[in-house]
Amino acid sequence: MGREIYDIINDMAEVLNASQMQKLQEVLVKRLSENTVSDYLQTTNMDFLDMFLTAKHLEGCSDKTIRYYRCNIEKMLDTINIPVIKITTEMLRKYLVEYQTINNCGKVTIDNIRRSLSTFFRG
């Protein structure tokens, strides 16, 4: 049953954002599985990232664009270091301000990173 739930979630990655994916997982586990599967199927931040990147690949994004998404999103996830579904807009704003200060980069760079993060969170 756990593999079927994972496959359903993976199939839906193309049309759902990270929060919706988490909710789908919770509902499927609750409705279709035994308690032990919920321990087995804990979706990690990297799982959400992989599902997002798979969806972007299916949408026709270039390998370069997908690498850019991966780089920006992984840096953010590593820095903030909490589950995706608990990340707030304010946390992302703080991350971008700190990123700009630490890396001494311009507004265009920060705006590009912001767009990557926005795409990830809205799906």
Please state the rounded mean pLDDT for residues 89-112. Answer: 97
Please state the rounded mean pLDDT for residues 36-45. Answer: 62
Look at residue 34 in the predicted model and tell me its pLDDT: 56
Rounded to 10°, the helix 18-32/2-12 angle is: 150
Task: For residue 122, give both structure tokens.
Answer: 């809205």
Please state the rounded mean pLDDT for residues 50-57. Answer: 92
Instruction: Tell me how far CA of residue 37 lies from CA of 18, 23, 82, 83, 88, in angstroms.
Output: 20, 16, 22, 19, 28
The pLDDT > 90 percentage for the chain reads: 54
- Which has more confidence, 33 or 100? 100
Those residues with Cβ within 8 angstroms of residue 107's Cβ, 6 or more apart along the chain or in another chain: none
Look at the pTM and tell me if it is higher than 0.75. no
pLDDT of 38 above 60: no
What distance lies between CA 116 and its chain's CA centroid? 11
Please state the rounded mean pLDDT for residues 59-84. Answer: 96
- Which has more confidence, 30 or 3? 30
